């Protein structure tokens, strides 16, 4: 593991994620991929290769604010503002105003948003600290950012294969995944 940490990471990420396929064959209500697999793989590899300092380093990077609070407020508030403006514009242009029942659904939006933001495992985001927090910096050692992103994109797309087989992710999403990995990195 210490000799080939990045290969170990990817093998563990797939193994710790794809065990969900077994449960999915028993109960189709369960996800075929455990989304926390890449994060758990990163923690295991870091614990063995760098000890407590490596694990703490990854965890600290996950909560470090990289821009001012105004940028976070804009990123979180802008989609809500655009949606409200679109709704208002529709009504001003003659669409029927939303009923109280339709607007009642909005009351659950904010708590759901914060649960997904603060507990990312519910939204499937636990894979990201593994992919971008651990794997990407390792892949960028001695490689260009583009080449590292392309390698990572192929491996992330492959990781989604069980979701494609069961029809939860379309095969054409491979292109989207590859593009997102390159853009986000």
In a domain, 99, yes or no: no
pLDDT digits (tens, 9 = 90+) for 80-99: 899 889 989 999 999 988 88
pLDDT digits (tens, 9 = 90+) for 146-166: 999 999 999 999 999 999 999
What pLDDT, on a 0 to 100 scale, did the predictor assign at position 84? 87
d(CA 137, CA 48): 17
In a domain, 132, yes or no: yes
pTM over 0.75: yes
Considering its fold, how many domains does the chain have in total? 1
In a domain, 138, yes or no: yes
Closest CA to 33 of 9, 12, 15, 10: 15
d(CA 156, CA 149): 10
In a domain, 95, yes or no: no
pLDDT digits (tens, 9 = 90+) for 53-79: 999 999 998 888 889 989 988 988 898
Q: Which of 28, 102, 128, 160 is catalytic?
A: 160
Distance of CA 124 to the CA centre of its chain: 6
CB 95 within 8 A of CB 24: no
Q: Is 127 a catalytic residue?
A: yes
Q: Which of 102, 127, 128, 170 is catalytic?
A: 127
Q: Is 160 a catalytic residue?
A: yes
What pLDDT, on a 0 to 100 scale, did the predictor assign at position 83? 85
């Amino acid at each position: 593991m210490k000799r080939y940490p990045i290969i170990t990471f990817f093998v563990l990420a797939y193994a710790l994620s794809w065990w969900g396929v077994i449960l999915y064959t028993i109960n189709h209500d369960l996800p075929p991929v455990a989304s926390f697999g890449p994060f758990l793989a990163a923690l295991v590899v870091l614990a063995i290769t760098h000890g407590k300092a490596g694990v703490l380093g990854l965890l600290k990077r996950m909560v470090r604010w990289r821009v001012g609070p105004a940028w976070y407020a804009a990123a979180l508030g802008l989609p809500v503002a655009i949606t409200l403006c679109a709704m208002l514009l529709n009504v001003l242009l003659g669409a029927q105003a939303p009923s109280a029942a339709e607007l009642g659904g909005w009351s659950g939006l904010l708590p759901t948003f914060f649960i997904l933001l603060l507990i990312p495992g519910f939204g499937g985001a636990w894979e990201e600290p593994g992919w971008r927090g651990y794997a990407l910096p390792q892949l960028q050692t001695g490689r260009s950012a583009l080449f590292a992103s392309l390698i990572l994109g192929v491996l992330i797309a492959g990781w989604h294969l069980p979701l494609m087989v069961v029809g939860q992710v379309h095969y054409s999403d491979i292109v989207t995944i590859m593009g997102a990995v390159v853009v986000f990195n």
